[in-house]
Structure 1
Amino acid sequence: MPTIPPERARFSELEPHQARQIAESFGSDPERYDRARPRYPDAMVERIVAETPGAADVLDVGIGTGIAARQFQEVGCKVLGVEVDARMAAWAKERGLQVEVAAFEAWDRADRVFDAVVSGQAWHWVDPVTGAAKAAEALRPGGRLAVFWNAGQPSPDVAEALSEAYRQVMPDAPASRRSTTSSDGYSAFRIRAADGIREVGAFGEPEQWRFDWERPYTRDEWLDQLPTTGIRAQLPPAKLTEALAGIGAAIDAVGGSFTMRYTTLVVTATRANGA
């Protein structure tokens, strides 16, 4: 079983047309995406806010349907989102979020500044150097950039059962491979994010935070979230149906439910004064 969803694992192995196809698949069913994807730990949100002076104005890069944005709103922040997928942006807007449709690298901030720039499960779609430079421009001195990902790892027996189910229909896909820890698959993303921050020269030394938590899944809940991952773009409808049936049978075989151990990984840095 992979430590991360198949659209995220080994992203560097994808051909450009494959990456584009996967990226464009996320907005095909925003209601399901918002319902099925995991939130982020409250402790992470609280720490970002606590360690950001006056964290009232937040820019959410790759806001998607607003999963992270709503959590920042819940602790009193005002959030503006930037989202490249117009379908996701429209869904989030309908639910009261402020969203502007653009790739972050090309987004026009119009002289607006923010206390924090955050990005959940999306920063690897952004050029790490251009993105960090853009974030520095949008931040007040002392403001914080925080990019984060949820990495999941089930117990070994469930991991093996799910990996075998993936191998039946996607033998060459990352989802059919086993990893040793929940953070393995995100190492490249974290390194690229930290290196991009350093290269810009407008931030202090990046820090890495982690938050461990768990979420139980029933068979139906796990199958509900799978089409929101890159597996939907990688398989034709008939093969996707076959994959879901096989994965559902694997979960039934281990009791019909399981607990996913999540680690939320954060790369964060403070904008230097006068940078």
Structure 2
Amino acid sequence: MPTLPREHPEPAQSHQARRTAESFGTNAQGYDQARPAYPDDLVARIVAGSPGSDVLDVGTGTGIAARQFQAAGCAVLGIDPDARMADLAQARSLRVEVATFEAWEPAGRMFDTLIAAQSWHWVDPVVGAVKAARVLRPNGRLAIFGHVFKPPVEVAEPFAEAFRRVAPDSPFSDQPARRPLEMYQAGYAKVADKIRGTGQFNDPEQWRFDWEQSYTRDQWLDLLPTTGRLTQLGPEQLAEILGAVGRAVDALGGRFTMHYTTLATTAVRAATP
């Protein structure tokens, strides 16, 4: 698998936690099996609003979103900094190059669509928007999207309490059990501001998709270790958190319904004069 040379040095702050960004590959198989896909309506809307079928997937991970775009008839090239994630994506018949987006060298290649599924927050927001404009064809679409997890309070509170207890020094330990949707919407609005600031795109749009998924106790305990809060914990810390959450789900009858909101910021590359 190609690991591409750097186009320029990494951003100084690495936005802002490179260790976390590259920790998901510790269990790439589990990540691929447990993480949810993206709404079909979102994929269809992006494809319909793009001028062609060439897609660049930034932070492709194991290729969850990339496979959905392939199924919709697109030719997808993935980029990911973690070779472990990229290896699994390649095993799923995806083309992947190992690099951060900031360092990746397009070598003259251009795309009709650039997507970033649950990954743009690991990209330098200024460098990323400018580079996206450079690799998109005129009228090409940039689409940045991700899930907001809203577990029931009966599950979220025991998780937050156990996490604070076993990982008090973690930068995530002071976060509330359930962050309001408005916090995420504000983050996507900031992404839109960076895109707008390049002067290379039409005015960005904000999209929203609400949906639900049912989880059994085991399904939820398979997903939790793939999240950024938990990928760097030790086995004993992880076991204590999963035990607390498992007991909480058992108290709900062994399953619960997760309410998801998938948010997207999307913009069309301005046509050249």
TM range (shorter): 0.7 to 0.9
1:218 Cα deviation (Å)?
A: 0.6
Matches within 5 A, 1:131-150: 131-150=128-147
1:200 Cα deviation (Å)?
A: 0.9
Number of the residue aligned with 2:203: 205
Number of the residue aligned with 2:70: 73
Of 47, 54, 57 in structure 2, the residue corresponding to residue 57 of structure 1 is 54
Number of the residue aligned with 1:268: 266
User: Which runs of no fewer than 5 residues in structure 1 stay unpaired?
Assistant: 1-14
CA distance, structure 1, for counterparts of residue 28 and residue 16 of structure 2: 20
- Structure 1 residues 211 and 87, CA gap change in structure 2 (3 angstroms): same
- Structure 1 residues 193 and 174, CA gap change in structure 2 (3 angstroms): farther
Matches within 5 A, 1:24-63: 24-54=22-52, 56-63=53-60
Are residue 189 (structure 1) and residue 179 (structure 2) matched? no
Number of the residue aligned with 1:5: none
Number of the residue aligned with 1:178: 177
Match for 1:204: what amino acid? N
SS of 1:140 mapped into structure 2: strand
1:53 Cα deviation (Å)?
A: 2.2
Task: Between 35-44 and 148-157, report the one with greater CA deviation.
Answer: 148-157
Match for 1:262: what amino acid? Y
Number of the residue aligned with 2:7: none
1:151 Cα deviation (Å)?
A: 0.4
CA distance, structure 2, for counterparts of residue 238 and residue 92 of structure 1: 30
Structure 1 residue ranges, 4+ long, deviating more than 6 angstroms after superposition: 15-18
C-alpha RMSD of the superposition: 2.1
Of 248, 251, 260 in structure 2, the residue corresponding to residue 250 of structure 1 is 248
- Structure 1 residues 188 and 109, CA gap change in structure 2 (3 angstroms): same
Of 216, 234, 237 in structure 2, the residue corresponding to residue 236 of structure 1 is 234
- Identical-residue share of aligned pairs (%): 57
Contact 2:167 2:237 in 1 (8 A): no
1:167 Cα deviation (Å)?
A: 4.3
CA distance, structure 2, for counterparts of residue 205 and residue 81 of structure 1: 26
Higher helix share: 1
User: Which runs of no fewer than 5 residues in structure 2 stay unpaired?
Assistant: 1-12
1:108 Cα deviation (Å)?
A: 0.9
State the TM-score, normalized to the length of structure 2: 0.88
Task: Between 141-150 and 242-251, report the one with greater CA deviation.
Answer: 242-251
CA distance, structure 2, for counterparts of residue 31 and residue 112 of structure 1: 30
How many residue pairs end up in the alignment? 259
1:24 Cα deviation (Å)?
A: 2.2
Are residue 98 (structure 1) and residue 95 (structure 2) matched? yes
Number of the residue aligned with 2:126: 129
Of 112, 115, 118 in structure 2, the residue corresponding to residue 118 of structure 1 is 115
CA distance, structure 2, for counterparts of residue 256 and residue 175 of structure 1: 28
